[in-house]
């Protein structure tokens, strides 16, 4: 994370729902299909990539989120240093996967803004702007989805009960943030 | 509005998808040997029937994968969904 100005500095608190940005977090995008890809990534991450749709896997350091049958997002659990955008894990994966043509590793730390939503009525907020059916999603911890929220592409990760992480592209983040602010105030 | 069963993600709202036109159009093996009319036929001419149509769709706001769909254009009833590369049903 180097040169960027976050638009989101304050925290939203409305009707028992709080929303804040979590930053800086390492985010990597992994793509690959081959069997060797899975074994190499498994060794490097110390985690098996989830292959079931709309699920995730987690250990004490990382969370891997299923995006598509050959695409995952890896995020760090803990915040990383602000004055660097070099990550040991990215280098390791880059050398073992990208350089050996097993797949692709892309650093998307700065591409996505990570928001953390906490409160009882998170899914009521989502329901006011998303076509996705959250009925099953909200029952299960660790579920993920990519969908639309107020016509903006988002990745939603159900971290814990009443705790959800939302990823939105940086250029859309200010717009989504103001929509969330407005929408949450009307819940 | 209708629901589409993405072969990878499951049932999602139509808003998340983009239609990609007619499916199973084969690129001519020797384009240079075609007349302009034949080339235009391949490039531009698409069926637009009222009834059962074979289409390509993309889960644009989800997994971003392409798949095939057999849809009745008169009432939006989805008859079948199958992955790219799979053969279309004969009947």
Domain-located, residue A156: yes
Q: Is the dihedral of CA A23, A69, B25, B27 positive or negative?
A: positive
Domain with A152 in it: 12-185
pLDDT tier at A105, thresholds 50, 70, 90: very high
Domain-located, residue A97: yes
pLDDT surpassing 90 at residue A6: no
Determine contact: B88 vs chain A, CB below 8 A: no
Mean pLDDT score of chain B = 93
Domain-located, residue A7: no
Domain-located, residue A36: yes
- Comparison of pLDDT for A158 and A86, the residue scoring more: A158
pLDDT tier at A85, thresholds 50, 70, 90: confident
Asked which of A4-18, B27-41, B67-81 is least confident by mean pLDDT, the reply is A4-18
Whole-Å CA distances, B58 to A31, A106, A162, B18:
18, 23, 32, 5
Question: CATH number of the domain that A93 lies in?
Answer: 3.30.1360.120
Give me the total of CB pairs closer than 8 Å, taking one residue from chain A and one from chain B. Answer: 36
Cα separation of A16 and A131, whole Å? 23
User: Which of A87, A72, A65 has the alpha carbon at shortest distance from A159?
Assistant: A65
Distance from CA of B43 to the nearest CA of A (A): 31
**Full set of structural domains in chain B with CATH:** 3-83 (3.30.2270.10)
What are the residues facing A49 on neighbouring strands? none
Mean pLDDT score of chain A = 92
Contacts of A20 (CB under 8 A, 6+ apart): A8, A11, A12, A115, A116
Cα separation of A19 and A108, whole Å? 22
* Cβ neighbours of B7 in A, within 8 Å: none
Domain-located, residue A5: no
* Cβ neighbours of A67 in B, within 8 Å: 63
The pTM score is 0.92
Domain-located, residue A161: yes
Determine contact: A131 vs chain B, CB below 8 A: yes
Answer for the pair A21, A79: CB distance below 8 angstroms, yes or no. Answer: no
For the segment B35-78, what is each residue's pLDDT rounded down to a tens digit? 999 999 999 999 999 999 999 999 999 999 999 999 999 999 99
Query: Which value, to the nearest 10 degrees, does the dihedral of the CA atoms of residues A38, A39, A43, A46 take?
Result: 50
Domain-located, residue A3: no
Domain-located, residue A6: no
Number of domains, chain A: 1
Q: What is the pLDDT of residue A129?
A: 94
B72: three-class secondary structure by DSSP: strand
**Residue percentage of chain A with pLDDT more than 70:** 97
Mutate to test the interface with B, among A53, A55, A134, A150 (most CBs of B within 10 A): A53
User: In chain B, whose CA is at the least distance from the CA of A152?
Assistant: B61
Q: What is the pLDDT of residue A23?
A: 85
Contacts of B62 (CB under 8 A, 6+ apart): A145, A146, A147, B6, B8, B9, B12, B16, B17
Answer for the pair A57, A158: CB distance below 8 angstroms, yes or no. Answer: no
For the segment A118-159, what is each residue's pLDDT rounded down to a tens digit? 999 999 999 999 999 999 999 999 999 999 999 999 999 999
pLDDT tier at A5, thresholds 50, 70, 90: low
* 80-109 in chain A: CB under 8 A from chain B: none
- Cis omega (within 30 of 0) on the bond before B48? no
């Amino acid at each position: 994370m180097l040169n960027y100005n976050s638009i989101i500095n304050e925290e939203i608190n409305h009707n028992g729902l709080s929303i804040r940005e979590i930053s800086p977090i390492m985010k990597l995008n992994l793509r690959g299909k081959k069997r060797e890809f899975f074994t190499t990534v498994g060794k490097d991450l110390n985690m098996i990539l989830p292959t079931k749709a709309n699920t995730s896997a987690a250990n004490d350091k990382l969370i891997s989120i299923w995006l598509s049958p050959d695409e995952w997002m890896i995020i760090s659990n803990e915040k990383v240093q602000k004055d660097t955008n070099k990550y040991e894990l990215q280098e390791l994966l880059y050398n073992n996967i990208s350089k050996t043509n097993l797949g692709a590793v892309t650093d998307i730390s700065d591409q996505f803004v990570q928001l953390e939503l906490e409160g009882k009525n998170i899914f009521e907020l989502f329901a006011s702007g998303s076509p996705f059916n959250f009925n099953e999603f909200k029952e299960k911890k660790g579920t993920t989805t990519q969908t639309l929220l107020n016509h903006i592409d988002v990745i939603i990760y159900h971290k814990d009960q009443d705790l959800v992480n939302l990823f939105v592209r940086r250029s859309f983040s200010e717009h989504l943030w103001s929509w969330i602010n407005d929408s949450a105030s009307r819940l | 509005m209708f629901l589409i069963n993405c072969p990878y993600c499951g049932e999602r709202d139509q808003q998340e998808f983009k239609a990609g036109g007619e499916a199973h159009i084969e690129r001519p093996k020797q384009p240079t040997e075609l007349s302009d009319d034949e080339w235009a036929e391949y490039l531009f001419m698409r069926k637009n029937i009222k009834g059962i149509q074979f289409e390509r769709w993309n889960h644009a706001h989800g997994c971003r994968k392409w798949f095939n769909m057999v849809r009745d254009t008169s009432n939006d009833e989805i008859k079948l969904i199958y992955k790219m590369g799979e053969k279309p049903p004969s009947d």
